[in-house]
Amino acid sequence: MRAALDTNVLVYAEGVGDSKRVSASRELLNQALAADLVIPVQCLGELFRVLTGKAGRSREQAQNSVLGWMDAFEVENTTTAAWRGAMDLCVAHQLSCWDALVLNVAAESGARLLLTEDLHPGLNWRGVRVVNPFSDAPDPLLTQLLT
């Protein structure tokens, strides 16, 4: 099963945020080492922005972090078709265009899950289920991914 990682999972794994989510994100990624994980390229741009802004890292430090994620996981590019689908999501579900783009790129990559705390858990789009990996009640598909 393939899953896509949203920016917040990466940000927490980088140590930015409260200790509970930082630990949970790192544990999630350790448990998912054998899983088929992808990162939408937009999430890497957002990660760079957070690391150089909120986290106060230098551009070089942020670049090294982003390159590390690119080495570790497959990166899915944004396409014209992905943008069209994202606009459909914006219209149908009133999502922000950037959240919609991440979800639609996940769908185009063949992911079954989008791991994020930013969208509505349980939302399904083109076969992708939105799952909050920090929820107290783990989604059965997330449990399946991690086993």
Q: Structure tokens of 6?
A: 């949203």
pLDDT (0 to 100) of residue 34: 87
Give the rounded percent of residues in the chain with a pLDDT score beyond 70: 100
3-class DSSP state for residue 141?
helix
CA 20-26-29 angle, to 5 degrees, is: 135
pLDDT (0 to 100) of residue 78: 94
Residues sharing a CB contact under 8 Å with residue 5, sequence separation 6 or more, in sequence order = 37, 38, 39, 43, 73, 115
**Across residues 60-72, what is the average pLDDT?**
98
Q: Is the model's pLDDT at 33 over the cut of 90?
A: no
Tell me the C-alpha to C-alpha distance, in Å, between residue 96 and each of 14, 28, 93, 99, 112.
24, 26, 9, 5, 21
Q: Which of the four pLDDT bands, split at 50, 70 and 90, describes residue 147? A: confident
**Across residues 72-98, what is the average pLDDT?**
94
114 against 146, higher pLDDT: 114
Question: For the domain bounded by 2-145, which CATH number is listed?
Answer: 3.40.50.1010
pLDDT in tens, 89-103: 999 999 999 999 999
How is the chain split into domains, by residue range? 2-145
pTM: 0.94
pLDDT (0 to 100) of residue 144: 92
CA-based nearest residue to 12, from 60, 65, 72, 86: 65
Q: Is the model's pLDDT at 2 over the cut of 90?
A: yes
Q: What mean pLDDT is reported for the chain?
A: 95
